[in-house]
Amino acid sequence: MMSIKILRERIRKIGHYEAMAALLDWDQNTYMPAKAAGDRALLMEEATRLSVELFLADQTGELIEAAEAGTLTPTEKNIVKIVKREYIKNRKIPSESHVRLKGETARAFEAWRAAKEENDFSRFAPALEKVLEICREQADSLGYQNEPYDAMLDLYEPGIKAAEVETIIRPLQECLTGLLGDLDNGGKPDVFTPAAAFPLQLQEELNHQLLKLMHFDLEGGQLSTAPHPFTITMSPGDVRITTRYNKHDPFSSLLGTAHEAGHGLYEQGIPEDLMLWSEISTPSLGIHESQSRFWENGIVRSLDFWKCFYPRLLEIFPVFKQCKVEDLWRSLNRVEPSLIRVEADEVTYNLHIMLRFEIERELLNGKVPVSRLPELWNEKMKSYLGIEPSTDSEGVLQDVHWSMGLFGYFPTYMLGNLYSAQFSHKMVKDIPDLSAAVAEGRLEVPLQWLRTNIHNHGNIYQPGELVKMVTGESLNINYFTDYIKSKYHEIYRL
Amino acid sequence: MMSIKILRERIRKIGHYEAMAALLDWDQNTYMPAKAAGDRALLMEEATRLSVELFLADQTGELIEAAEAGTLTPTEKNIVKIVKREYIKNRKIPSESHVRLKGETARAFEAWRAAKEENDFSRFAPALEKVLEICREQADSLGYQNEPYDAMLDLYEPGIKAAEVETIIRPLQECLTGLLGDLDNGGKPDVFTPAAAFPLQLQEELNHQLLKLMHFDLEGGQLSTAPHPFTITMSPGDVRITTRYNKHDPFSSLLGTAHEAGHGLYEQGIPEDLMLWSEISTPSLGIHESQSRFWENGIVRSLDFWKCFYPRLLEIFPVFKQCKVEDLWRSLNRVEPSLIRVEADEVTYNLHIMLRFEIERELLNGKVPVSRLPELWNEKMKSYLGIEPSTDSEGVLQDVHWSMGLFGYFPTYMLGNLYSAQFSHKMVKDIPDLSAAVAEGRLEVPLQWLRTNIHNHGNIYQPGELVKMVTGESLNINYFTDYIKSKYHEIYRL
């Protein structure tokens, strides 16, 4: 058999092991009973071992070389290019370390969950230490020029360095802090909070209305509930998203669903040939986040969207009749420094990221000990957002990421916002009637643009290349700062 | 390291692969989106391959022998005994055949689902042919004296033969048909059907009340919804049960939950050392079914139970205030020949089994072709129950079993009813105040008896041995016929 055929069969088998690991992961976050946690960590280790050992075997490298030497179709060339890039990078870390990290993080996740529930950071600290230790070892294995944190960052956003993130943060912080000052003098939107409760079943129905409008394929995907919403792909026909419900606020789950469905549409949009296994099938987490942010903020927090969605909302929750469309839209865009990142508005959101970036960079680089995290968190919350959490559950324990060993992950959320603004700017130029299309509920119009310009490329290009290819220039934060100033000046009637 | 240690580690690893297969299975029946079906079959094949290849390797046999030669604790002796018995039996079937069956049945399951939905038997027939072919091959590999079907039956109920089942069926059918005639002259219970709808969320709450009362451990288990309810164990701390909801009838899900929780309590009650992996940790499906039937019919369809559960029902569904406890109990025990097995009353239930046994026996033995199944089904329904389905969905397509290759499984449902009656008879003798305990909601009393007499033994004894050990005699259908006549004579005031 031709080497490329054997290589593709191998990829498929790795994909199956990855799918098993993904299902174990999804289940742990949705339906798994508590007492299964210990065994689950071992199962996840085992599934990861199967995948990693097959992927990182010498034979995979030999197959890649042999395939490169043969005659390849353009698609096959791209597949080999992607697999080779990921193989070289991941081989730097010993298989055993990949597996150990999976097991330790499954345990740390449980420790984090308990610590958050009981507001007791000390329950999480020892597990975090172990995870950190493995991550530092991995950074050393990967290699770096300036600091260990760069090696981690590169796992999630290939090509970017901590120092560069810093140069983005400075002007961005200045812009956002300035904007917050402007808004103080503007007309703050009222929050329309009807005393009514919003039964979960009806909220689910509303979320499904949104998914239909977004063309999220529910035959090839699914929506569940999870305490910390996420998206996970088992196979091209199995993309799962999650949201969480607040019975006093139907928009909390709706925005969460929009966000995760943005990720989900991306996964569903990768051409089947280029969907190798989910983790290596898109260029970076920042690019991924640009998709979720586009749908969450660019669409569902836009006035155009509410022109079409308002009647659907009224059908399910007639109580909103008392509220005009424009007021509803303004209230969904009310700016207020708050404690919880995932509930933050678009203006303060990036400030939440900045403080996490600074803390995790120091932490991974060994400049601060785990024990100082709660204190450091509260200090930085005060300096960036002017408020301080009263419990660690609302503070340093709010995010799942560090329990998962995801140091270097947070900055990709900020980059996602920046990419999204830059892509949107180009989309508006390409589609003059975009605004009308959204107002009429024709969301296939922006989706088609994303499919053609971004989804279709899978992981062929590095994030920097893709941004340049799509927009004609490198990452430029001005698109975001222009967007956010103009949107919020309008909302605050300045 | 000592051989027994190595063997136990191997068992643990097989258990992990079995747990992955179980999760894939559970997910396929609960939350998996439709388009994932193709890939899911491959994943299940892969998980099965991992488990079967490790279990059936020569090395396992060598480890068993070496362990037997060493010094063993009593528990270790039992573990070796169980594993050896299962190893010898399963080795007769080539690993490849186990794996192929898993893949074909995952595909056949999807074909069955579609066929049932569209009432089109021809959509299911080709997939069923393939499954049958593998099962016949497996019967040949396993070996048999009289007929291939015996080999299949032995997989689920070790030690029993089709001819024996036949000798049970004759007097049982006579008893049941006679009883049906008696009941015609009795006072038929009214069905209390309030026009009200019963929201699923409230039904779920009611089901959880029942689980609590039954001491089903929800920290080590979970209740989901599935179109065809089942119980599955991932690990000792992860026993999942399912039910299905009918918005016009809260008792449908409640009885389903009681049944599956009966299976679940058994799985949760196997001592951790003896819980190897679920499939080899109990003596037979008939013994398993005796547990589900005990809770469903012996408890939840008893007047004693409703004495304690009625107030809980009223709290959630006050509409039942109009109905006296005794009338409610009688209406739950109304006898009526009907089309669907899982909704059948206790009297007609075994008649449903008899016709399935006869059909699948002929089918597996190659005496009738797949194409004749719908016709044969309808004929036998008429002869056993006096009614005929108007669609195949309500007829030959109603059960999932044959799509899963489970020929020889149905008779274990009947055996379960018989075992349950025999165990119950002994339980009443051992616990004079059982009736009062149930009426007061002290369900830990019967549970403790089951734990001590049945659950604690895991799969140490063969079904025949266990029945004799617990009750002092071999399977005796008189316990069931006495029970059913006396119960229904009382209900029908004869």
Report pLDDT digits (tens) over A5-30: 999 999 999 999 999 999 999 999 99
* First-to-last C-alpha distance (Å) of chain A: 68
> What confidence category does residue B433 fall into, taking pLDDT thresholds of 50, 70 and 90?
very high
Q: Which pLDDT does position B106 carry in this prediction?
A: 86
Catalytic residue annotation of A: 260
CB contact under 8 A, A218 and B23: no
Contacts of B237 in chain A (CB under 8 A): 33-39
Give the closest of B31, B50, B222 to A222, CB-based: B31
Helices (H), ranges, A185-270: 200-213, 250-269
CB atoms within 10 A of CB B195: 6
Using CA atoms, how far apart are residues B211 and B222, in angstroms rounded to an integer? 10
Q: How far is A237 from chain B (nearest CA, A)?
A: 5
Q: Copy the structure tokens of residue B56.
A: 């059936």
Percentage, residues of chain A above pLDDT 70: 100
Count of residues in chain A: 494
Percentage, residues of chain A above pLDDT 90: 93
> What confidence category does residue A228 fall into, taking pLDDT thresholds of 50, 70 and 90?
confident
CB contact under 8 A, B219 and A16: no
Give the closest of B35, B43, B221 to A33, CB-based: B221
DSSP string, A358-418: HHHHHHHTTSS-GGGHHHHHHHHHHHHHS---SSSTTTTTS-SGGGGT-TT-HHHHHHHHH
Contacts of B234 in chain A (CB under 8 A): 36, 39
Give strand pairing partners of B233. B239
pLDDT of A221 > 90? The answer is yes
Q: Which pLDDT does position A38 carry in this prediction?
A: 85
Q: Which residues of A touch B (CB under 8 A)?
A: 13, 16-17, 19-20, 23-24, 27, 31-40, 42-43, 46-47, 50, 200-201, 217-222, 224, 234-240
Q: Which pLDDT does position B344 carry in this prediction?
A: 93
Q: Which residues of B touch A (CB under 8 A)?
A: 13, 16-17, 19-20, 23-24, 27, 31-40, 42-43, 46-47, 50, 200-201, 217-222, 224, 234-238, 240
Contacts of A203 in chain B (CB under 8 A): none
Give strand pairing partners of A239. A221, A233
> What confidence category does residue A74 fall into, taking pLDDT thresholds of 50, 70 and 90?
very high
- Residues A343-391 have pLDDT tens digits of 899 999 999 999 999 999 999 999 999 999 999 999 999 999 999 999 9
Q: Which pLDDT does position A343 carry in this prediction?
A: 85
Find out whether A437 and A431 touch, Cβ atoms under 8 Å: yes
Q: Which pLDDT does position B342 carry in this prediction?
A: 86
Backbone angles phi, psi at B246, to 5 degrees: -120, 115
Q: Which of A59-63, A311-315, A488-492, B106-110 has the lowest mean pLDDT?
A: B106-110
CB contact under 8 A, A220 and B34: yes
In SS3 terms, B360-421 reads as HHHHHCCCCCHHHHHHHHHHHHHHHHCCCCCCCCCCCCCCCHHHHCCCCCHHHHHHHHHHHH
Q: Which pLDDT does position A194 carry in this prediction?
A: 80
Q: For chain A, what is the mean pLDDT?
A: 96
Contacts of B221 in chain A (CB under 8 A): 33
Q: Which pLDDT does position A207 carry in this prediction?
A: 98
- Catalogue the long-range contacts made by B24-29 (C-beta closer than 8 Å, 24 or more residues apart): B24/A20, B24/A23, B25/B232, B26/B224, B26/B232, B26/B234, B26/B240, B27/A23, B27/A27, B28/B106, B28/B109, B29/B226, B29/B227, B29/B228, B29/B230, B29/B242
Nearest Cα residue in chain B from A26: B27
Nearest Cα residue in chain A from B37: A237
| Three-state secondary-structure class, residue B329 | helix
Q: Which pLDDT does position B227 carry in this prediction?
A: 85
Using CA atoms, how far apart are residues B411 and B154, in angstroms rounded to an integer? 11
| Three-state secondary-structure class, residue B242 | strand
Q: Which residues of A263-281 are buried (b: 16+ CB within 10 A; e: fewer)?
A: bbbbbbbbeeebbbbbebb
Nearest Cα residue in chain A from B200: A201
- Residues B2-53 have pLDDT tens digits of 999 999 999 999 999 999 999 999 999 999 999 998 889 899 999 999 999 9
Q: Which pLDDT does position A197 carry in this prediction?
A: 86
Using CA atoms, how far apart are residues B40 and B42, in angstroms rounded to an integer? 5
pLDDT of B298 > 80? The answer is yes
DSSP string, A278-319: GGGSSS-HHHHHHHHHIIIIIIITSHHHHHHHHHHHHHH-GG
CB contact under 8 A, B39 and A13: no
Q: How far is B83 from chain A (nearest CA, A)?
A: 21
CB contact under 8 A, A237 and B16: no
Q: Which pLDDT does position A23 carry in this prediction?
A: 97
Q: Which pLDDT does position B191 carry in this prediction?
A: 84
- Residues B331-378 have pLDDT tens digits of 999 999 999 998 899 999 999 999 999 999 999 999 999 999 999 999
CB contact under 8 A, B39 and A234: yes
Find out whether B225 and B336 touch, Cβ atoms under 8 Å: no
Nearest Cα residue in chain A from B218: A33
Q: Taking Cα atoms as reference points, which of A260, A253, A263 lies closest to residue A205?
A: A253
Residue A18: in which H helix or E strand, if any? helix A3-30
Percentage, residues of chain B above pLDDT 70: 100
Find out whether B253 and B244 touch, Cβ atoms under 8 Å: yes
Q: How far, rounded to the nearest angstrom, does the alpha carbon of residue A215 sit from its chain's CA centroid?
A: 20
CB contact under 8 A, A217 and B35: yes
Q: Taking Cα atoms as reference points, which of A443, A462, A84 lies closest to residue A287?
A: A462
Q: Which pLDDT does position A295 carry in this prediction?
A: 98
CB contact under 8 A, A43 and B50: no
Q: Please give the angle made by the CA atoms of B4, B9 and B10, to the nearest 5 degrees.
A: 95
- Residues B58-73 have pLDDT tens digits of 999 999 999 999 999 9
Q: Which pLDDT does position A106 carry in this prediction?
A: 86
| Mean local confidence (pLDDT), A279-307 | 97
CB atoms within 10 A of CB B451: 18
- Residues A455-490 have pLDDT tens digits of 999 999 999 999 999 999 999 999 999 999 999 999
Using CA atoms, how far apart are residues B229 and B258, in angstroms rounded to an integer? 11
Contacts of B222 in chain A (CB under 8 A): 31-33
Give strand pairing partners of A243. A225
The residue written with tokens 């439709």 in the block is B34
Nearest Cα residue in chain A from B25: A23
Q: Which residues of A4-26 are buried (b: 16+ CB within 10 A; e: fewer)?
A: beebbebbebbbbbbbbbbbbbb
Contacts of A20 in chain B (CB under 8 A): 20, 24, 43, 46-47
Using CA atoms, how far apart are residues B428 and A303, in angstroms rounded to an integer? 70
The amino acid occupying position B296 is E
Q: Copy the structure tokens of residue B307.
A: 């004495």
pLDDT of B193 > 80? The answer is no
Dihedral Cα B196, B197, B198, B199, nearest 10 deg? -140
Say which residues have a Cβ less than 8 Å from residue A9's Cβ, sequence separation at least 6: none
Nearest Cα residue in chain B from A238: B36
Q: Taking Cα atoms as reference points, which of A254, A247, A246 lies closest to residue A206?
A: A254
CB contact under 8 A, A219 and B46: no
Using CA atoms, how far apart are residues B247 and B183, in angstroms rounded to an integer? 30
Q: Which of B194-203, B307-316, B381-390 has the lowest mean pLDDT?
A: B194-203
Give the closest of A27, A200, A237 to B36, CB-based: A237
Q: Which pLDDT does position A206 carry in this prediction?
A: 98
3-state helix, strand, coil in chain B (%, to 5): 70, 5, 25
| Mean local confidence (pLDDT), A252-270 | 97
The residue written with tokens 């709706």 in the block is A254
Using CA atoms, how far apart are residues B250 and B259, in angstroms rounded to an integer? 15
| Mean local confidence (pLDDT), A284-305 | 98
Backbone angles phi, psi at A437, to 5 degrees: -60, -45
Q: Which pLDDT does position B236 carry in this prediction?
A: 86
Q: What does the radius of gyration of chain A's CA atoms come to, in whole angstroms?
A: 22
Say which residues have a Cβ less than 8 Å from residue B174's Cβ, sequence separation at least 6: none
DSSP class of residue B460? S
CB contact under 8 A, B237 and A39: yes
| Interface confidence (ipTM) of the complex | 0.91
Q: Which pLDDT does position B103 carry in this prediction?
A: 87
Contacts of B24 in chain A (CB under 8 A): 20, 23
Q: Please give the angle made by the CA atoms of B267, B245 and B261, to the nearest 5 degrees.
A: 15
Q: For chain B, what is the mean pLDDT?
A: 96
Q: Which pLDDT does position A155 carry in this prediction?
A: 96
CB contact under 8 A, A35 and B217: yes
In SS3 terms, A407-437 reads as CCCHHHHHHHHHHHHHHHHHHHHHCCCHHHH
CB contact under 8 A, A218 and B24: no
Give strand pairing partners of A241. A223, A231
Interface test with B, best of A23, A44, A48 (most B CBs within 10 A): A23
Give the closest of A23, A34, A50 to B27, CB-based: A23
Q: Copy the structure tokens of residue B22.
A: 């179980």
Find out whether B454 and B423 touch, Cβ atoms under 8 Å: yes
